[in-house]
Structures are given as structure tokens and as C-alpha cells.
Structure 1
Amino acid sequence: MAHRKTEGSKLLVTVLCTVAACSAVPISDLLDRVSQRSDTLHSLSTTLTQDLDSHFPPIGRIFMPRPSVCHTSSLQIPTDKEQALQVSESDLLSLARSLLQAWLDPLVILSTSAKTLPHPAQSSISNKIQELQEHSRYLGDGLDILSGKMGPTAQAISFLPYRGDNDIGEDKISKLSNFHFLLSCFRRDSHKIDSFLKVLRCRAAKMKPEMC
């Protein structure tokens, strides 16, 4: 028991030291780090979608819901780069954090469902979903630290609860279609997060708007 307490204490100290170190990092450097992480997140989600498409039955696309049904669709966000450039830095960060926060539970569902997904690349897909969770967690930690430097507006989060079922389906077509749809929603949102953070990084570097 004493050994466990010692390990727990060491872990706590390590976490606190890491947070303290990140808090001392300039905003521009933090933006570089979170932008790299978000880029990896979006790239991984795109690769996962391609993995699914490799053996996705055409009839499955007929049953897939439209993107407008994604649980994050109610969030009012810029539709393109030009609109994003008109949004304040704090609001952009708040939007990115809101989108990422909204995927905590759905990513757990994807991770659980991937373990029994009826797909030839099931093992690889399952491992990549776990990577998605890990990158999302690290990105969330970075955005939390960043928001603390940018004030109350950046710390505000719009809560977008996921109201879908934990069970993605019983038959093969339903499982693949629902899994693909949920992953497609995540890929779409990860692209938005990545775009917002790249605009923020661009502004921090004082680049001209047309170069962002």
C-alpha cells in the first residue's frame, strides 16, 4: 500500500511539474504544439475512414445518416476560413474546446465498438481508435492550458451532449454504417478544430490574413 502511495505521489508531482512547465510556455509556442497535435488527430481520423472504406458494403451508405445529424451540428461555427478570420481568438478557442469536449463519450463508444467490428481490418481500426482517444486527451490538456492564458471567453464551453445509443447495431450492415457515420462526424469536427487552431497560430505569428 505504501508503495502505491509513493507511486501516486510521484505521478502527481510529475503532472504538476508538467502543467507548471506548460504554463510558462509562450502562447505562440503552445499554439504550435496544439496545432501539431490537432493535425495528427485529423490525419488519423482520415486514415481510419479510408480503412473502413476499403471493405464497406455499398448498401451501407444508403442507411448512413446525413452529416447534419451529427450531435455537434447545433454549434454555430464559421463555415469557411474567411468567416473564421472574422472570429475573435478567444471565441475560436472556445469553439475548438467545445467540439473536442463533445467527443469524450462518442470516442468511448467507438473504441468499445471497434473491438467487435465486422471488418477485415478490425484490429488495426481498434488500435487507431485508441490512438485517437490518446491524442484527443493530450490536445484537450493543451487547450485547457492555452485557454487559461487567453481569459474567460476562451474558457467557456458549449456543451453538446451525445444522445445516441451505446450500441451501434446488431447486424453487420448496421454496425458498419453507424460506426462509419460516427467516425465521419468526428473527422469533420477534427478538421474544424485543426482549422481554428491554425488560424490562431497564424494570428499569433502576425501573418497576413490571406496567408492564414
Structure 2
Amino acid sequence: MAHGRWNGRKPFITVLYVVAVCSGVPVSDLLDRASQHSDKLHSLSTTLTHEIDSHLTPIGRMLMPRPSACHTSSLQTPSDKEQALQVSESELLSLARSLLQAWVDPLVVLSSSANTLPHPAQSKIINKIQELQEHSKNLGDGLNILSGKMDPATQTISSLPYRGGNDIGQDKTSKLIKFQFLLSCFRRDSHKIDSFLKVLRCRAAKLQPHLC
């Protein structure tokens, strides 16, 4: 469903891409827009994880896999803002793009699985997952434009394939656990993306590190 909607918008997105590149939109403006989308991504994922967690049993929380089991955990990233400030602009953008790309397939799994999720706010969750996909797609388009304006090293994207399959489980508990686990991994990564973009925006504005 989500792919169909986006396929219909590809010509429009392509036009936006060409216009943005040719019109010489400043990098600082592109970073501002990207940060707005990354803010929304993290906010939505946080809201969703809280929504699901409220319906998990204590046993369900105990059975939740550790964050190290997230499919993006193999990617070496700065652990905090201080470390991020020591990383080059090209590497930060490459890391953000790698993380975002790694979530294309898992977000499809979340979107298709939401229809069978045993949760009283199912329709609300479905809508928010679709919003996640939309903001993720818009952010990806924006970062593609940014990478074309920055160092060629930003074109490098690490491959982080998702091998979790499309099945989130058969019984109520396993469905909620896997759905929540995927969301919690996405929330963690969306926070990283948002932090990296804020550091890039800070540097583009030529602010002192302690103000970032």
C-alpha cells in the first residue's frame, strides 16, 4: 500500500530533487529541513513505543531482545554528542544515510503487520507507521540532495540488511514483542540520525561546539 502511494509520487519527487539541486538551495537550509523531518521521525517513534509498551505484560518486557540484537547494531556510530562532534561532516551524513536506508524494509514489515496487531489503538498505530514511512522517505530524498552537495565520501552507504522476515509472530504476546522490538530499534536509530543532523546543522551555522 505504502509503496503504491510513493511510486505514484516518484515523478514529483524527481522534479523536486532537480529543482533543489539546480536552484542552489544552501546546505544550511537543506539541513534545517532535514532536521525537521528527523525530529518528527524520533517523536513519532517515541510515541509509538510508549503506546505499545503500555499493553505489554511484564513477561513480555522480560522477553524483549536486547538492543544489541537490532539489525543496525553492527554499524559503528558515535555514542554521544561529544563523540559526534569529533566526526567529519561526510562521515556523519554517510552514517545517517546508512541508518535510514537500513529501515526501508523493516518499516514495510511494521506497516503490513500493524493490520493484525492485537492492540486497541490499532488504527491510530497504522496511521502513525504510515507517517513514519512518509517522513523517512522525505528525509531520504533530502539527504540524497545533501550528499550531492557535500564531499563525495557521503555517497558511501553501509549495507545493513534486515533478515527478520515478514512474520512478527502468531500469538498476541509474540506479535507485540516483535513489533515493539522493531519500533524500539527504530527509535534508537532515529535518535542517532537526528543527533548527527543537528551536529551538521550546527557546523553549517558555524556555531561553537559548546552551543551545538
Give the shorter-chain TM-score range.
over 0.9
Report whether the alignment pairs 1:203 with 2:189. Answer: no
- Residue 108 of structure 1 aligns with an amino acid whose one-letter code is V
Alpha-carbon distance in structure 1 between the residues aligned to 2:10 and 2:152: 29
Report whether the alignment pairs 1:189 with 2:189. Answer: yes
Q: How much is the aligned-residue C-alpha RMSD, in angstroms? A: 1.4
Instruction: Kindly indicate whether the alpha-carbon contact (under 8 Å) linking 2:17 and 2:141 is maintained by their aligned counterparts in 1.
Output: no
* Matching residue of 2:47: 47
- Residue 18 of structure 2 aligns with an amino acid whose one-letter code is A
Flag structure 1 segments of 5+ consecutive residues without an equivalent. 1-7
In the TM superposition, residue 166 of structure 1 has moved relative to its aligned partner by 1.1
TM-score (structure 2 length as normaliser)? 0.92
In the TM superposition, residue 165 of structure 1 has moved relative to its aligned partner by 2.2
* Matching residue of 1:163: 163
1:148-173 deviation per Cα after TM superposition (whole angstroms, max 9, x unaligned): 00121011100100111210101110
* Matching residue of 1:20: 18
* Matching residue of 1:93: 93
Cα distance 1:197–1:178, how it changes in 2: closer, same or farther (>3 A)?
same
* Matching residue of 2:119: 119
Instruction: Kindly indicate whether the alpha-carbon contact (under 8 Å) linking 1:55 and 1:120 is maintained by their aligned counterparts in 2.
Output: no
Runs of 4+ in 1 over 3 A off after TM superposition: 14-17
Alpha-carbon distance in structure 2 between the residues aligned to 1:94 and 1:11: 23
In the TM superposition, residue 201 of structure 1 has moved relative to its aligned partner by 0.1
Alpha-carbon distance in structure 1 between the residues aligned to 2:139 and 2:182: 20
Larger radius of gyration: 1
1:24-82 deviation per Cα after TM superposition (whole angstroms, max 9, x unaligned): 20001000000111001100100111111222222111211000000000001100101
In the TM superposition, residue 21 of structure 1 has moved relative to its aligned partner by 2.4
Identity fraction in percent: 74
* Matching residue of 2:32: 32
Alpha-carbon distance in structure 1 between the residues aligned to 2:111 and 2:95: 24
Alpha-carbon distance in structure 2 between the residues aligned to 1:11 and 1:108: 18
Alpha-carbon distance in structure 1 between the residues aligned to 2:182 and 2:37: 21
- Residue 126 of structure 1 aligns with an amino acid whose one-letter code is I
Instruction: Kindly indicate whether the alpha-carbon contact (under 8 Å) linking 1:30 and 1:142 is maintained by their aligned counterparts in 2.
Output: yes
1:171-207 deviation per Cα after TM superposition (whole angstroms, max 9, x unaligned): 1100000100010000000000000000000000000
* Matching residue of 1:130: 130
- Classify the secondary structure of the residue corresponding to 1:112: helix
Q: Count residues with an aligned counterpart.
A: 203
* Matching residue of 2:80: 80
Alpha-carbon distance in structure 2 between the residues aligned to 1:80 and 1:46: 19
In the TM superposition, residue 18 of structure 1 has moved relative to its aligned partner by 1.5
- Classify the secondary structure of the residue corresponding to 2:162: coil
